[in-house]
Chain A
Amino acid sequence: MIPDWKLERFLTGDLPEEEMNKLRELEANDAVFANRVKMLREDNKAILSKLPFETLAERIADATDVAGEGRANLGTVTETAGTAAKNAARFTLVKFAAAAMFVFAVALVAFFAQRETSVMNERVGSDVANVNGSQNTQVALAEIQSDTRIKGLEARMEVWKKTSAGIVQLNDLDSVGEGDEIQLRYAVPEKCFGLLFSMDGNGALTLHMGDGVKAVELAPGKMNSLPFAYKLDDAPYFEKFFFVTSPKEFAVEENDVDKLLKRSDVKVIGFTLKKAGK
């Protein structure tokens, strides 16, 4: 019987690869083990619901006395030097807490990755506008909704890749290949308008999130996954993703992306993936 501690490590993906593969196989073929895994995953969700991340962050903030009066000002635009310092400390705190909660996050990703298999190919959707004739295809993946919130931080975008071993988060300038399935996630710290698109090595623009070419209104707080993954085509060199936000409505011109990116009233987060072997 697989001991509890090993099961926990399996859920967090923190076992040697050989053991991970062995347990994955066991999960696929052993109903009893699969049920234990399932129960633990459900327990994870229940615990996160009962003891949300924010509560933990608040507790740590209280204990380390970095929040103080700054808490009320968190996320506000007008910061005095004093509150800015406190918020900076809190920022560090939240970053740490987020890292510490990574273990849970991995478990959740693994959970959703499993769900993805069952819904794959069932939901080839139309949410993602395919502009300019790109050959990229849309692949349905389950939503990856995390309760992790990033209040007080900058807008951010995460890029994940589905592999046979699960879903892994990519870093800027990581290499990918044709056929890789990419899942995009984003979060914003305050209400704003946002647009998420990418450009490949052929110069083809693909909109991943938006009302056509117009930015859509985004709610602050938790990380959001786009409802569909993105399967890379054979375009060479790179795939660059842009997450553009602004307090005001805006749109992108398909033939002049630079014009948008150079605007002073938008914030741009870029993320580049290198195409392997190209």
Chain B
Amino acid sequence: MVYRRCLQLLRDDAEACDLMQDVFLRIYSASERLDMESPSSLLWNTATRLCLNRIRDKRRRGLDVDSSSLLLSIACAEDEHDDYETKNVLAKLFSKEPESSRTMAVLHFVDGMTLEETAREVGLSVSGVRKRLRGLQAKVKTLEVQ
């Protein structure tokens, strides 16, 4: 599942392998705070977030990115809730702090989850997800929050 998720977002086998291992490594690093209540969600969302970071980093370094324009715009969107690397990302994640808006956007706009499903996935209310997505929408004009 994790490998397929990485491959879906990165479209590169080697990168997907690399990221898949990063996903497990990141989770392991925070294993003491690990909440395995929904392991699939944890793995899926961690993979999504790391892939978005990878896409954004590549774009910033001027490298070619084989992603859809929608995914690219989400990955590169500024997200005040997504400053995870400097704000102890996993501590937030495992203490059930809301996922990044960018991840929510991928779940909703790319994966096709409904707002209800997205909310369940990230542990927020539907209105909370809607609000976060609208915040991101202001920066990514192509997003249309229902």
A binding-site residues for B, Cβ under 8 Å? 3-5, 8-9, 11-12, 14, 43-44, 47, 51, 56, 59-60, 63-64, 93, 96-97, 99-100, 102-104, 107
Bitwise interface map of B from 4 to 28 toward A, beta carbon under 8 Å scored 1, else 0:
1100100000000100110011011
Q: A14-B38, A51-B3 are in contact. Are A59 and B111 (CB under 8 A)?
A: no
Shortest C-beta distance, A30 to chain B (Å), equals 19
- List the interface of chain B (C-beta within 8 A of A): 1-5, 8, 17, 20-21, 24-25, 27-29, 31, 34, 36, 38-41, 43-44, 107, 111-113
Q: A3-B112, A12-B40 are in contact. Are A59 and B25 (CB under 8 A)?
A: yes
In the complex, the chain B residue whose C-beta lies closest to that of A104 is: B1
Cβ–Cβ contact A9 & B40, under 8 A: yes
A96 contacts B113, CB within 8 Å? Answer: no
**Does more than half of chain A's interface fall in helix, strand or loop, or is it mixed?**
helix
Cα distance A102–B41 when bound, in Å? 13
State the CA gap A103–B24 with chains docked (Å). 12
Interface of B is mostly: helix
Contact for B4 among A8, A14, A56, A93, CB less than 8 A: A8
Tell me how far the C-beta of A14 lies from the nearest C-beta in chain B, rounded to whole angstroms: 4
For B3, give the chain A residue with the smallest CB separation.
Answer: A47
Complex A-B, nearest 8 residue pairs according to Cβ-Cβ distance, in ascending order: A14-B40, A8-B1, A3-B112, A5-B111, A12-B40, A96-B31, A59-B21, A47-B3
The distance in angstroms between the C-alpha atoms of A4 and B38, with both chains bound, is 17
**B-side contacts of A102, CB under 8 Å:** 39
In the assembled complex, the CB of B24 is this many whole angstroms from the nearest CB of chain A, namely: 5
Choose from A56, A60, A63, A103 the contact partner of B39 (Cβ within 8 Å).
A103
Within the complex, the shortest CB–CB distance from A44 to chain B, in Å, comes to: 8
Give the CA-CA distance A8 to B122 in the complex, in Å. 17
B38 CB contacts on chain A under 8 angstroms? 14
**Docked-complex contact B21 and A60, CB < 8 angstroms:** yes
